[in-house]
């Protein structure tokens, strides 16, 4: 295992640090301190390293659009209706950042701060990038001061494990995720890739993309990825809806080994298997990417990446049937997402 640390950029007068781990197989993981952003996940090829995730050249470009490209998301992934949560009988009005609603932790969420970072190389079979920050309730409007870590580990089995860990000074919410966008292929678009999701249903959403509380069966529709489906074919099946692609929350059932989804590219034989013990996966096919996005692979365009965000079902404070993502004061909660690579 090899590790490096370098000054990558300056944003809002703060140094943005890039932490990189390279395993014994030549797989490299690069994380930016700002937003705990997954900047690069590269695998070796005959033509050099190939980045499996979307990325930018500058920090400002990551934040100059509403797409959270490969950034850390918290305290809560997804939307909270009207920014209102009631915990133990007390209702809190959160700051809103998408109309009347709170999206992805609100305007002062995980993606908006420069995390403190450190490398851990104590294990010869894996190395870790440990990012830490305390989100004060006076800054992000959630109850309690949340001290949290995002720990990225890369091992010699070509697995990236992301651990979210947090404790709070008061009863609060904790449903974090990583807004990672994959494109495994050598093409600009994802249309040739295959997605499999361990799911039989997805959430019904209203016009504001808020859950209604109901589920819709996937079987017999373009939303059915249970046995694997070509993404181009699936997207073509949704050209009669406003999004013209996927921006949906799947209710997933983890397999016995924790697998919830697998994305693969038949042309290159590259694949990523996603493992999580949580019951939600957001699938977004970048339908609304725009040409002013200056990504490293070129100008933004629809379908140039697929976001696969493992989390608990969103807006659960307003839909108790979705489960409980509360974090009691003084307790520590952890969630893991594992990305297993083949290439």
Please name which of 51, 52, 1, 12 lies closest in space to residue 34, comparing C-alpha atoms: 12
Is 179 among the catalytic positions? yes
User: What is the H or E stretch that residue 235 is in?
Assistant: helix 231-236
Residue 309 a catalytic site member: yes
d(CA 141, CA 93): 8
Residues 6+ apart with CB under 8 A from 276: 252, 254, 258, 260, 310, 335, 336, 337, 338
Q: Which of 39, 133, 179, 251 is catalytic?
A: 179
User: 204 with 216: CB under 8 angstroms?
Assistant: yes
DSSP state of 176: -
* Per-residue tokens: 100: 């009347």
241 Cβ neighbours under 8 A, 6+ residues apart: none
How are beta strands 259-265 and 270-276 bridged, if at all? antiparallel
Catalytic residue list: 179, 309
């Amino acid at each position: 295992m090899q590790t490096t640390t370098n000054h990558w950029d300056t944003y809002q007068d703060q140094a943005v640090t890039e932490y990189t781990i390279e395993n014994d197989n030549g797989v490299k993981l690069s994380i930016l301190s700002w937003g705990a952003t997954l900047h690069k996940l590269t695998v070796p090829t005959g033509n050099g390293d190939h980045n499996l995730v979307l990325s930018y050249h500058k920090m400002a470009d990551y934040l100059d659009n509403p797409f959270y490209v490969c950034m850390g998301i918290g305290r809560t992934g997804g939307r909270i209706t009207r920014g209102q949560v009631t915990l133990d009988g007390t209702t809190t009005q959160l700051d809103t950042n998408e109309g009347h609603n709170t999206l992805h932790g609100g305007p002062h969420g995980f993606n908006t701060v420069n995390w403190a970072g450190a490398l851990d190389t104590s294990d010869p079979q894996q190395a870790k990038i440990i990012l830490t920050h305390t989100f004060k309730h006076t800054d992000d409007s959630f109850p309690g001061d949340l001290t949290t870590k995002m720990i990225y580990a890369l091992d010699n089995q070509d697995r990236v494990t992301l651990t979210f860990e947090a404790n709070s000074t008061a009863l609060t919410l904790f449903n974090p995720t990583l807004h990672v966008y994959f494109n495994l292929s050598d093409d600009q678009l994802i249309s040739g890739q295959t997605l499999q999701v361990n799911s039989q249903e997805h959430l019904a959403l209203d016009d504001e993309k808020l859950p209604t509380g109901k589920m819709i069966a996937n079987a017999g529709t373009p939303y059915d990825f249970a046995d694997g489906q070509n993404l181009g074919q699936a997207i073509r099946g949704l050209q009669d809806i406003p999004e013209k692609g996927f921006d949906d929350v799947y209710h997933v059932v983890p397999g016995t080994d924790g697998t919830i989804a697998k994305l693969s590219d038949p042309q290159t034989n590259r694949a990523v298997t996603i493992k999580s013990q949580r019951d939600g996966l957001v699938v977004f096919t970048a339908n609304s990417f725009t040409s002013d996005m200056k990504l490293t692979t070129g100008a933004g365009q629809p379908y140039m990446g697929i976001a696969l965000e493992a989390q608990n079902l969103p807006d659960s404070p307003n839909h108790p049937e979705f489960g409980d993502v509360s974090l009691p004061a003084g307790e520590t909660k952890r969630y893991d997402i594992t990305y297993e690579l083949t290439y």
